Structure 1
């Protein structure tokens, strides 16, 4: 018997406590002198021997309980009992989408069952299913558990990555002797872009071919142009292939076009269709002999036309100069001026469709509109706030949970100018050496903003922040500490105003994490790892597609697979023995039995302690 944490055995010294208490409780009757014993009154003799036996049983039960508690914490295990099960066989089954070709996965399962049947007497068997990730579906154990785990496997939509299964098998083996049986169609793409995998020399790798791919058609790309939708079809076969591309918009078929792809080549097919402004499209081909997952590709359609920038204004804060500046951007943006009531209530959802939002007034901005602006920013949108009498610092602070004490309005006019402190900031980078001309702008009213958690790329001549930038969730907020309507400054009359306004909107309209096309292997939590159009937690649609590297029909020979694995020395004896001890103890779980015996001892102590 060995112990994983032997220092806990020192707790067994606590057995001295009940022993000491037992000795102190011993009743020793005092000697009483009598002249004649015959004068004593007769009384029944107490059964002292029975009481002594009960006390000894109580002592033994308490000592046993303490010893078992200390042993349980020390985590006992038996190395000798586990010695017969030292061998380990790991069966790894490829479940990438290329394995869904007709008959291939059934052949892989037969090979996996055969590998399990070849296990030696008392040899432990583990099962791994892998694509981009390697998942242990059966921990080292008996053949019955391994066969049951294999029966539950099915091909998925991921791509093959051999490095993942080598790493997982090395982890399971823990430096000890083991055999890894890899059941795969041996696609060469499984090593593309991978750092060379390392495996200890104690891990024997046995590669078994489930059937090499020879034919496959795939939809490789999907894009729109003036003539319709262009679909790229890739032919991985050794001969030319023909077929038809079917185009669907939001699930309804809108067009078809034939294709003829030469061997080992790609062809662009244009499906005539007037591209819609929104929704999603998918292009599908028929390929009964290939891989089903790459027969369809999806695309989310972006809003047609130029990006829209919402300018929230009021009667006094009209944003006239800002709107003219954005109009001068050559059609890069379409500025849309709205008032608070126009985006109130149920109309607040329009905010989520904007490229950026400019806030010139908070008057008549109801709760729904405020929450929509905050949600827009925190899911990757950009917000520009111009300080002005119509923008209330308390409202801004309450919207985002900022400290309202960090925003104050100048109590009296003052004369200051502006200077850049970070010429590399995206707002001022295009100015280059001309950024010094910003010092010619006259300001006579500003906000004073405490720069905590803000980046300050420009400040006023008295040292207070002029332009502030910060992250808010997945988006950004830029605060200009004066107005843009020529009431607190003459900035709108300065030549730098137009490029400043355009660069600010361009900077904020580049939404982070705004991708509309992701791979199956990179879907966030909450989404199904399968091709299709799905909805992100922030409400944005996203097209989930397969990794096209898996569509290749190029294969490896088993010898090439083995050569791609770098052999390294196993772990040192001490770390390896420690890992093996942890695994042995985890399998045996003898501490649980120790705790159950302790409970039995306490129950016996309670029963024996009854008068």
Structure 2
């Protein structure tokens, strides 16, 4: 047993108080001559019981005081922190680039050598990089279990981001009381993984870091497939797939399969030039394709098999909600940027059919883009309410119109106008299914959105996707009726800024429409390992793999949002409801090129010395963590209460 605040044990000296009182109250026995009265002998047993009770009461009082002192000293089981132990964290790149030949076994062997033989009190932790830093094994003294987990671990299917995991591991080690604190980087130094790392920002003082050598074996052949597009046309279907080749000229074969069949529908030999990216279009018989639920595209196996196969849903299994309704541009707008963007997007997969807002009931399986005050007036407002009640979805750009704001207020939304000089969008919810693909493709595209005027949305009524500079929601999502509604607290034309001319305008509009149509999960380049998916609303359903590496895994219960961990075709079912999802690997991870600008990671280690006071503080923090994991002070208080009650009971008997 150890003590967090052992100085409080000095208070146990208070035990002397009941001892002194007991001695002061002790009766002096005197022998008094008295005539022989044999009946007085019956008092002797009672005197013996009184003496026993007095000693018992004394013992209980001493125990109460001792337990009180022990409780304040905060006892705990386990080994106390020691400055002679070693703390090690292994930061593991679990992206699919590690599936290249020999990389993973060699790196694990190197990491085991760096770990060495653990001694008593040493701790080892395993931290995964992707898709975001997460502990595979939190720092533990059970080093055998940590090594076993490392031996059993296999590369994942996500992309690489090194810096967030490095910083978390370094901060964890910096808080350790161990004298030796070591960070082991288990990765292949891929250019993508180190991109954006601030090498000038050192690790905390006292934390050492070791890195493996760059991969020495050159890549013989590496060719990747990007998610394909399927476009039906009459009795045929055109499949478009991008083939990206890395390295010298090579030949490979592209095969297209219907579902999980073994006989390909089409085989095409590709002679690829050095570092060539080629778009391949293949015409397939629609009858053969539409009879299956998905299409599989495969290349000959190369140095990185993980990206040699991609999946696409056949048109018959894709969602039919692809109609986009657009209202007229507001009066005074010089051009209809929204309509132009949507008409352009209609040529991209999945196919979107763009149509003006009708003067009759709106089809429920559609998404509406609304930015005109007249869309919220009279019969149009009635049709909008019926559209949302039936399950339709809408993207609303605020323009300050009276009827628009009246309609919003009727649904509990009261926007507040912002000062003209304070309308800049920031702080995006990058984990949201709408925002995540935009952030992954180009995070900078979400920066610098400024407007001449804007409106803050009520934080208690919407789920914020982006905020203004003061933290008030600028873009929010909510449910109205059975439909989903996105509300943007800014306009979509050039009256209030140059945002419609920004590079992010069309991608944002595309992602917003796909999100509302709930086709983002089956859209080309949208369903990617490591990015969240939005599942149908309501009760959870069953999620299972129909094809791909996860096909042998048992079904799981899933609802709301879900992040896939492996590529393939997945099925989500709930009663008679059934939805298919085609998931592919992130295409940027396919480039196996190692960082070519030296070895700047060797400069991350700090040259500052750790102050003695900092070491003492870490020791105290480590003891506090150990005490919180196995606290005993409340047991002391509980025992003290029991002994106090017993003391009162027996003390009353000594006074009789």
Q: TM-score scaled by structure 2? A: 0.58
The equivalent position to 1:354 in structure 2, one of 350, 361, 368, is: 368
What are the residue-to-residue correspondences of 1:109-258 with 2, within 5 Å? Answer: 109-119=108-118, 123-138=122-137, 139-174=139-174, 176-196=179-199, 198-199=202-203, 200=205, 202-207=207-212, 212=217, 214=219, 215-220=221-226, 222=228, 228-246=238-256, 257-258=268-269
Residue of structure 2 in register with 1:309 after alignment: 326
Q: Aligned with 2:126: secondary structure?
A: strand
Shift in Å, 1:219: 1.6
Shift in Å, 1:151: 3.4
What are the residue-to-residue correspondences of 1:422-437 with 2, within 5 Å? Answer: none
- Uncovered stretches (5+) of structure 2, i.e. residues with no partner: 28-33, 344-353, 425-454, 460-473, 479-484, 521-525, 534-560, 573-577
What are the residue-to-residue correspondences of 1:25-424 with 2, within 5 Å? Answer: 42=40, 44-45=43-44, 46-47=47-48, 48-72=50-74, 82-84=82-84, 86-119=85-118, 123-138=122-137, 139-174=139-174, 176-196=179-199, 198-199=202-203, 200=205, 202-207=207-212, 212=217, 214=219, 215-220=221-226, 222=228, 228-246=238-256, 257-272=268-283, 284-297=297-310, 307-309=324-326, 334-339=355-360, 342=361, 349-351=364-366, 353-356=367-370, 358-361=375-378, 369-372=387-390, 376-377=393-394, 380=395, 397-398=409-410, 400-402=411-413
Please say if residues 308 and 355 of structure 1, whose CA atoms lie closer than 8 Å, have aligned partners that are also in contact. Answer: yes
Number of residues of Structure 1 aligned to a counterpart in Structure 2: 503
Output the CA distance in 1 between the equivalents of 2:355 and 2:322.
9
Q: Aligned with 2:562: secondary structure?
A: coil
Deviations 1:286-335 (A, max 9, x none): 24233233224567989899942379xxxxxxxxx9xxx99xx8996622
Q: Aligned with 1:125: secondary structure?
A: strand
Output the CA distance in 2 between the equivalents of 1:65 and 1:189.
59
Output the CA distance in 2 between the equivalents of 1:596 and 1:97.
50
Output the CA distance in 1 between the equivalents of 2:123 and 2:477.
52
**How has the CA–CA distance of structure 1 residues 543 and 108 changed in structure 2, closer, same or farther, with 3 Å as cutoff?**
same
Please say if residues 219 and 231 of structure 1, whose CA atoms lie closer than 8 Å, have aligned partners that are also in contact. Answer: yes
Please say if residues 321 and 365 of structure 2, whose CA atoms lie closer than 8 Å, have aligned partners that are also in contact. Answer: no
Q: 214-223 vs 151-160, which deviates more?
A: 214-223
Output the CA distance in 1 between the equivalents of 2:228 and 2:142.
48
**How has the CA–CA distance of structure 1 residues 562 and 336 changed in structure 2, closer, same or farther, with 3 Å as cutoff?**
closer
Q: Aligned with 1:161: secondary structure?
A: coil
Q: Aligned with 1:66: secondary structure?
A: helix
Shift in Å, 1:518: 6.0
Q: Aligned with 1:89: secondary structure?
A: strand
Shift in Å, 1:586: 2.6
Aligned Cα RMSD in Å? 6.0
Shift in Å, 1:60: 1.5
The equivalent position to 2:618 in structure 1, one of 568, 576, 579, is: 579
**How has the CA–CA distance of structure 1 residues 168 and 59 changed in structure 2, closer, same or farther, with 3 Å as cutoff?**
same
Q: Aligned with 1:354: secondary structure?
A: strand
**How has the CA–CA distance of structure 1 residues 582 and 261 changed in structure 2, closer, same or farther, with 3 Å as cutoff?**
same
Output the CA distance in 2 between the equivalents of 1:109 and 1:549.
24
Output the CA distance in 2 between the equivalents of 1:99 and 1:579.
35
Q: TM-score scaled by structure 1? A: 0.61
Do residues 475 (structure 1) and 486 (structure 2) align? yes
Deviations 1:231-250 (A, max 9, x none): 22122244413211537799
**How has the CA–CA distance of structure 1 residues 148 and 20 changed in structure 2, closer, same or farther, with 3 Å as cutoff?**
same
Output the CA distance in 2 between the equivalents of 1:371 and 1:18.
78
Q: 288-297 vs 362-371, which deviates more?
A: 362-371
Output the CA distance in 2 between the equivalents of 1:392 and 1:126.
54
Output the CA distance in 1 between the equivalents of 2:629 and 2:78.
6
Q: Aligned with 1:128: secondary structure?
A: strand
Q: Aligned with 1:207: secondary structure?
A: coil
Q: Aligned with 1:520: secondary structure?
A: coil
**How has the CA–CA distance of structure 1 residues 564 and 595 changed in structure 2, closer, same or farther, with 3 Å as cutoff?**
same
- Uncovered stretches (5+) of structure 1, i.e. residues with no partner: 30-35, 312-320, 407-420, 427-449, 455-468, 481-498
What are the residue-to-residue correspondences of 1:526-605 with 2, within 5 Å? Answer: 526-531=562-567, 545-555=584-594, 560=599, 562-563=601-602, 565=604, 567-569=606-608, 571-587=610-626, 592-596=631-635, 599-600=638-639, 603=642
**How has the CA–CA distance of structure 1 residues 183 and 77 changed in structure 2, closer, same or farther, with 3 Å as cutoff?**
closer
Output the CA distance in 2 between the equivalents of 1:248 and 1:544.
16
Please say if residues 254 and 269 of structure 2, whose CA atoms lie closer than 8 Å, have aligned partners that are also in contact. Answer: yes
What are the residue-to-residue correspondences of 1:498-513 with 2, within 5 Å? Answer: 512=512
Residue of structure 2 in register with 1:317 after alignment: none
Output the CA distance in 2 between the equivalents of 1:600 and 1:558.
65
Shift in Å, 1:97: 0.2
**How has the CA–CA distance of structure 1 residues 579 and 141 changed in structure 2, closer, same or farther, with 3 Å as cutoff?**
same
Deviations 1:341-373 (A, max 9, x none): x46xxx6x324x334493444687698744357
**How has the CA–CA distance of structure 1 residues 557 and 367 changed in structure 2, closer, same or farther, with 3 Å as cutoff?**
closer
Output the CA distance in 2 between the equivalents of 1:385 and 1:558.
52
Shift in Å, 1:172: 3.0
Residue of structure 1 in register with 2:547 after alignment: none
Residue of structure 1 in register with 2:465 after alignment: none
Q: Aligned with 2:82: secondary structure?
A: helix
**How has the CA–CA distance of structure 1 residues 338 and 152 changed in structure 2, closer, same or farther, with 3 Å as cutoff?**
farther
Residue of structure 2 in register with 1:436 after alignment: none
Please say if residues 457 and 475 of structure 2, whose CA atoms lie closer than 8 Å, have aligned partners that are also in contact. Answer: no
Please say if residues 82 and 584 of structure 1, whose CA atoms lie closer than 8 Å, have aligned partners that are also in contact. Answer: no
**How has the CA–CA distance of structure 1 residues 211 and 96 changed in structure 2, closer, same or farther, with 3 Å as cutoff?**
farther
The equivalent position to 1:523 in structure 2, one of 509, 523, 532, is: 532
Residue of structure 1 in register with 2:440 after alignment: none
Deviations 1:530-564 (A, max 9, x none): 3457799xx99987543433212323599826446
